[in-house]
Amino acid sequence: MKRTLFILSMLIGICLSTSAQRGLQINEVFEGKVIAKQYMQESLIKGDNVAPYKLRLLHTVKFLANNSQRAKADALFNIDMKERISDDDSNMEMETRDGFLYYAIVQLTDNDKGSHRYICYQCRPKSTKFDITMVYMEGEASLADLRKTFKRK
């Protein structure tokens, strides 16, 4: 019985983690379609663990990518950036270096639950590869709240 409950809770967790970014192009990254999941570090934090930050969900993947994988991740992220809440730059921060997307945080249109949604991207060159971190967040936090939390001003 305990084993059945454990398996059931694992399946529910997997479903919830993949449904969070459903409808976004970056979901391909989170699903392991750009980099195989065994080469990614993944964190899914929700509920009380992220509540102090005014969030309900924080889903992160981190991986090393070659140039074509980096280009694919950049392209998917850029498609989703077009779904931001407005064309006004006050709902996003973006930095490019050497013609590549280096850092971005973007507020998307709110989800059907009324939560704010954010996608974040950071890509750092590392020798012949790129160290990429991609984050999806949901909650009541504003972009100003997130800037304070992550010390980005």
Summarize pLDDT for 58-85 with one digit per residue, the tens: 999 999 999 999 999 999 999 998 877 6
* Structural domains of the chain, count: 1
pLDDT for 77 equals 94
Which domain range does residue 33 map to?
Answer: 2-149
For the residues 119-127, what does the mean pLDDT come to? 93
Summarize pLDDT for 7-41 with one digit per residue, the tens: 333 434 444 444 567 689 999 999 999 999 999 99
Buried-state track 87-105, b at ≥16 Cβ within 10 A, e below 16 = eeeebbbeeeeeeebebbb
Percent of the chain with pLDDT over 70: 79
pLDDT for 120 equals 93
Q: Predicted confidence band at 6 (pLDDT cuts at 50, 70, 90)?
A: very low
